[in-house]
Chain A
Amino acid sequence: MRNIDVSEITAAVREMCIEVNHKLSPDMVGKLTDAREREESPLGRQILGQLIENMDIAREEMIPICQDTGMAVIFLEVGQDVHFTGGDIEDAVNQGVREGYTEGYLRKSVVRDPIDRVNTGDNTPAVIHYSIVHGEGVKITLAPKGFGSENMSRLFMLKPAQGIEGVKEAVIAAVADAGPNACPPMVVGVGVGGTFEKCALLAKKALTRNVNERSKIPYVAELEKELLEKINCLGLGPGGLGGRMTALNVAVETYPTHIAGLPVAVNICCHVNRHISREI
């Protein structure tokens, strides 16, 4: 068994909040650079050029990449031989978010109640997904989620008879409907299978995958490639103002499901697809 003081978690979350909002991961930078090369629309190329310049300014001058610095979504994979000391783990994570968003001059975008809508003033609480894994380490993945694209995400409870064609239609419909609202070029996370909530979580998790990686399941990898190609035939383009580069990547995660169901969740993210992981 290993003891981990929760103050270590707080410090890590704090640093990750600041880093991830100013510096896109190398895989995302590569995709955007590549998209500018491949875009055929002149206006689309100009917009992609602005997005690349924006990333440089953000990193060099410590101005957040986007003003929507998101709601902090955190995946916490905790080794089953870990014993947390020094306080409550949930409080420790939220303290890290509080410190990161306050000291990092990030936007406070969280309201305490969905109806009365009073801002909590420190971007807490985070949305935390825990999983218990083998070993005595802790892996923290932080993916702050902006809501321009979150609002365009969709969940479909398909019939098994609709099969893989139904999945494709659902994803394309969600992306086409999102259009310019979701700040294309987008990254599309798709969950297929499980239950209502499980497939939404799969879609969210898919967004944290390295955008250069394909699924290890051969038919799923093919599906990802086909969906990306189809999405990039929609013509929406950067900013939704016309062009080829509507999506930078499609990542699909699957899970066993019920004999009666085929849930499909489409979690859309803009080109500011922020994700960062750290192991403790």
Chain B
Amino acid sequence: MDRHISLPLSDADALSLKAGDYVYLTGELYTARDAAHKRMYDALNEGKELPVDIKGQVVYYLGPTPARPGHVIGSAGPTTSSRMDKYAPRLLDLGLKGMVGKGKRTQEVIDAVVRNGAVYFAAVGGAGALLSKCIKKAEVVAYDDLGTEAIRRLQVENLPVIVVIDSAGTNLYATAADKWRK
């Protein structure tokens, strides 16, 4: 089913999304990938505050190319989510509502998605030029020294994603190939 969803993601919208839904996201989300996740995780372990309030937010696993002059951002497709699996359950338990990336997640992440009524979306890997067109505003909000890995706040319009893991724990990757396997 095609859905248009506003960000930040409401609890009701998160619960209503089903694995396989084709979704256009509009609103604000944050980028973070390996280095930013490690830093957030270390901060939590040291009892410090996170640099952004992730409650109710969606994180996009993205490290863009630099913006050309006059552009908002460079190429901006998803990176492989599994490298964030170590950190994701903790962030979900702190209120993170959604993740956009690509590729498989561990059972621990799936359990945390279910426990928190959250959603895991996949964007099309390797379509960074196309996806950059959906990004209307980008600003670094934390960890500027990490360059491409800094945390950015993005304003997106109709960012196309697919629900892979829904709040009931249904995992599209686990079943998608069955229909086409020979």
Cβ contact within 8 Å between A235 and B104: no
With A64-B74, A239-B102 given, is the CB distance from A119 to B147 under 8 Å?
yes
Interface of B is mostly: loop
Cβ contact within 8 Å between B176 and A57: no
Complexed CA–CA distance, A205 and B132 (Å): 31
Residues of B within 8 A of A121 (CB): 147
Complexed CA–CA distance, A105 and B129 (Å): 13
Residues of A within 8 A of B22 (CB): 43
Cβ-neighbour of B173 out of A40, A107, A180 (below 8 A): A180
Residues of B within 8 A of A136 (CB): none
Cβ contact within 8 Å between B129 and A240: no
Chain A residues with a Cβ under 8 A of chain B: 40-41, 43, 47, 50-51, 53-55, 57-58, 61-69, 105-109, 117, 119, 121, 147-148, 151, 179-181, 183, 233-237, 239-244, 270-272
- Determine the residue in chain B with the shortest Cβ distance to A63: B129
With A237-B180, A239-B125, A242-B180 given, is the CB distance from A179 to B130 under 8 Å?
no
Which stretch in B8-16, B61-69, B88-96 binds the other chain? Answer: B61-69
* Contact sample, A vs B, 13 pairs, CB 8 Å cutoff: A54-B126, A63-B65, A66-B127, A67-B64, A67-B75, A107-B64, A180-B104, A183-B125, A234-B177, A236-B176, A240-B177, A241-B172, A243-B180
Cβ-neighbour of B179 out of A54, A147, A235 (below 8 A): A235
Cβ-neighbour of B176 out of A107, A181, A242 (below 8 A): A242
Q: How far is the CB of A62 from chain B (nearest CB, A)?
A: 7
Residues of B within 8 A of A69 (CB): 65, 75
Complexed CA–CA distance, A231 and B149 (Å): 34
**Considering only CB atoms and an 8 Å cut-off, how many residues of chain B contact the other chain?**
46
Total inter-chain residue pairs, C-beta < 8 Å: 159
- Residue B116, interface by CB 8 Å: no
Cβ-neighbour of A105 out of B67, B127, B178 (below 8 A): B67
Chain B residues with a Cβ under 8 A of chain A: 22, 35, 62-68, 71, 74-77, 79-80, 82, 102-104, 122, 124-133, 146-149, 160, 162, 172-173, 176-182
Cβ contact within 8 Å between A54 and B129: yes
Cβ contact within 8 Å between A272 and B126: yes
Complexed CA–CA distance, A117 and B146 (Å): 11
Cβ contact within 8 Å between B148 and A108: yes
Cβ contact within 8 Å between A240 and B130: no
Cβ-neighbour of B102 out of A54, A61, A148 (below 8 A): A148
Cβ contact within 8 Å between B129 and A241: no
Residues of A within 8 A of B130 (CB): 50, 53-54, 57
Residues of A within 8 A of B77 (CB): 66-68
Cβ contact within 8 Å between B103 and A105: no
Residues of A within 8 A of B65 (CB): 63-64, 67, 69, 105-107
Cβ contact within 8 Å between A41 and B180: yes
Q: How far is the CB of A8 from chain B (nearest CB, A)?
A: 27
Cβ contact within 8 Å between B182 and A235: yes
Residues of A within 8 A of B132 (CB): 63
Interface centre among B63, B68, B125, B133 (most CB of A within 10 A): B125
Complexed CA–CA distance, A55 and B77 (Å): 13
- Determine the residue in chain A with the shortest Cβ distance to B146: A119
